[in-house]
Amino acid sequence: MSGSVEIDLASQARMIDALRISLRATQVLQTHLSYVVLTGGIAYKVKKAVDLGFLDFRSLASRRRDCDRELRIDRAFAPDLYLDVVAVTGSVDTPHIGGAGPVLDYAVRMREFPQEAVAAHALARGAIGPAWVDALAANIADAHLRAAVDTTRAEEERFLSTIEGGMKRFDELAPAKTTQGSTTMHGTISGEDAFKLYDTFGFPIDLTELMARERGYSVDISGFESALQGQRTQSQEDRRSKKIGIAQDVLGDGDWAHGEEGTAFVGYDSLDVSTDVIASRDLPDGRVAVMLRETPFYVESGGQISDRGEIQGEGWRVDVDEVRKVDGRIAALGKASGKVTAGRARAVVPRDRRRDTERNHTATHLLHAALRQVLGVHVHQQGSLVAPDRLRFDFTHHGPLTPQQVSEVETLVNRGILDGVPLTFEQKPKAEAISMGAMSLFGEKYGDVVRVVSVPGISLELCGGTHVRNTSEIGVFKIVSETGIAAGVRRIEALTGRAALELFRAHERQLQEIEHIVRAPGGQAVKRVQALVDERRVLDKRLGEVLRSGGGGAIKELVEQAEVINGVKIVAANVIAPDLQSLQTMGDALREQMKPGVGVLGASLDNGKNTMVTVVSDGLPERGVRADNIMRELATAAGGKGGGKPHMAQAGIPDAGLMASVVAGATEIIRKHLAAAG
């Protein structure tokens, strides 16, 4: 595309006017601060990341220049803010603190022209005209553009929701007072409170200062900085503690028997190793930690859990159930039989367990690649679990996947498996690997030389884990769940190989059982179940009609036997009802037939639950005789809990026998309510 983007300026003006009206309706901030809220959805997270030392703005300028060259859009028709949005959400990552992800320049919120923020808001809200979409689609892949728009919208909505709660807290700290032009200060917002607004609700400190100044308050900036520094220090300490290779509560302080020789991991190629014990330490409860010169045991890293297995020496054995790193050396921990001594030993990792783990690890790489292909390049790994029995993958994305997207991802992974692609493993300088396009795990620490795992044509990642040699070894891949675990973070759990095969077999057994229960021929279960559901729907409708007409005379008989107190009929009875809906229908029929009247029905339903329903006919609630009040008293007497509306209420009762006795004595409670109503 060349030249400028043609936009209907009159339509744009109408759009901006409509948006401004919408902004006033939010009542989140004063109208003249609305643009702060609009762009704050990502900006406040960026500012927080910078404050905590996770993010550097210096790269933004170069990314903006690259974006300008790529888009070639006339700046007169494409506001700077929109270029920022595309540059940082449409070309690299989605927002997440601590990553080099999308950056909406913090200064955007302080631009001279708030209409640019309104334009960004229009983009996120989908309010822009077809000319924008068509023109931009010519320069950016459609899925890429869609991801940028969806991400911006999701972030903004989350921010609006969060900041609304923050405004309530701000109102408590700085109640609105008219200054009438006076510069007199009403008070000071403490540094601790300002920090809580920032940390909990995402209020940048200058936003808090601005709003406070308008209400005649000051902010303790030095106190805020102290609180911020305290969080920085705590974050650094937390990260430092996670780097400790071995928990002190497991090994404690003390010396290792034998020597200080290093250990070498040989588990990429060997699962059964004859080697030497170079160090050991006795632990509580008959456990021991053993270091081997060469070890096949993988120590947990990059989401892959540690291996298990056994070590055998002369007169002793250790069942390994945990692997740790101690000062850079690998230690295998487990229950010991006999006294571990220096000398030759044999270490074995169960082949099936390791192979299952390898299937899941390689499948995780294929899954990552498939998600980026289906959803967009904004998808990045946020955590994972690679175990023998399953895999779990957390990734950045703004919302739930559709069933079609899940199916597409699953198909792509299985296609990579069926293609039988050989993997390659190389040691490369980190800078060279990154320049090749290798993906790295956020938060993971890498050395100057890294291991690059490649599935040619599909995936390229930095990874120290164990993998299959050929994708065909994975066998099959099946997604079992897709859920959200945090704002902008989704989680997929999946099975491969033997675990997936067992899942398919379990589903097949369930289907066969269903076919047997509903008496359906092979392959006809769905059709038979649908017929049964339709039949049940017809029967339910007929049952409802019968119950509403008096339950085949049962309701009419109850009304005829009702006790009358001050002209009001009272019915209290234990009845037979298959489900709650049927019991409620009987209650409706009773209420219609005993005007004026009060009724209490109790039933033990087919699902095993015991339920009471209280109904009051029209006119009585206005006199103070209410079903919800009567039900609460009855439920308390029966050991349950209940409530509802003035005309109908219900309660669940744990004990069927106690419920029956309370229903039988309900007349006295109803009499008391009638007397109180006068």
CA angle 21, 26, 27 (to 5 degrees): 105
Cα(208)–Cα(199) distance, rounded to whole angstroms?
A: 12
Q: What length is written for the chain?
A: 678
Relative to beta strand 329-337, strand 343-348 is: unpaired
Classified as helix, coil or strand, 495 is strand
Q: Are 280 and 257 in contact (CB under 8 A)?
A: yes
Find the helix or strand (DSSP H, E) in which 243 lies: none
Residue-wise pLDDT for 395-433, tens only, equals: 988 889 999 999 999 999 999 999 999 999 999 998 898
Q: Which residues pair with 563 in a beta bridge?
A: 570
Query: In the numeric block, which tokens belong to residue 170?
Result: 């701000």
> Which stretches of the chain score pLDDT less than 70?
1-164, 177-185, 235-255, 257-260, 442-444, 544-553
Q: What 3 state SS string does 332-398 have?
A: EEEEEECCCCCEEEEEECCHHHHHHHHHHHHHHHHHHHHHHHHHCCCCCEEEEEECCCCEEEEEECC
> Which domains, ranges and CATH numbers included, belong to the chain?
9-173 (no CATH), 248-349 (2.40.30.130), 356-502 (3.30.980.10), 518-548 (no CATH), 549-677 (3.10.310.40)
In 10 A of CB 668, how many CB atoms? 9
Q: What 3 state SS string does 211-234 have?
A: HHHHCCEEECHHHHHHHHHHHHHH
Q: Are 362 and 454 in contact (CB under 8 A)?
A: no
Q: Are 649 and 642 in contact (CB under 8 A)?
A: yes
Residue 475's pLDDT is 96
Question: Side-chain half-sphere of 334: how many Cα atoms within 13 Å?
Answer: 25
Q: Which residues pair with 653 in a beta bridge?
A: 610
Question: Side-chain half-sphere of 48: how many Cα atoms within 13 Å?
Answer: 22
Give the predicted TM-score (pTM) of the model. Answer: 0.60
Cα(208)–Cα(221) distance, rounded to whole angstroms?
A: 10
Residue 589's pLDDT is 87
Q: Which single residue is written with the structure tokens 């995402």?
A: 202
CA angle 491, 493, 496 (to 5 degrees): 150
* 208 DSSP 8-state letter: H
Cα(451)–Cα(429) distance, rounded to whole angstroms?
A: 9
How many helices and strands in the chain, by DSSP H and E?
21, 24
Residue 549's pLDDT is 58
Query: In the numeric block, which tokens belong to residue 233?
Result: 């220090």
Exposed/middle/buried for residue 265 (C-beta within 10 Å: 0-12, 13-18, 19+): middle
Cα(667)–Cα(665) distance, rounded to whole angstroms?
A: 6
Q: Are 663 and 573 in contact (CB under 8 A)?
A: yes
Sign of CA dihedral 589, 593, 597, 601: negative
Cα(100)–Cα(511) distance, rounded to whole angstroms?
A: 48
Residue 369's pLDDT is 96
Cα(553)–Cα(545) distance, rounded to whole angstroms?
A: 13
Residue 352's pLDDT is 96
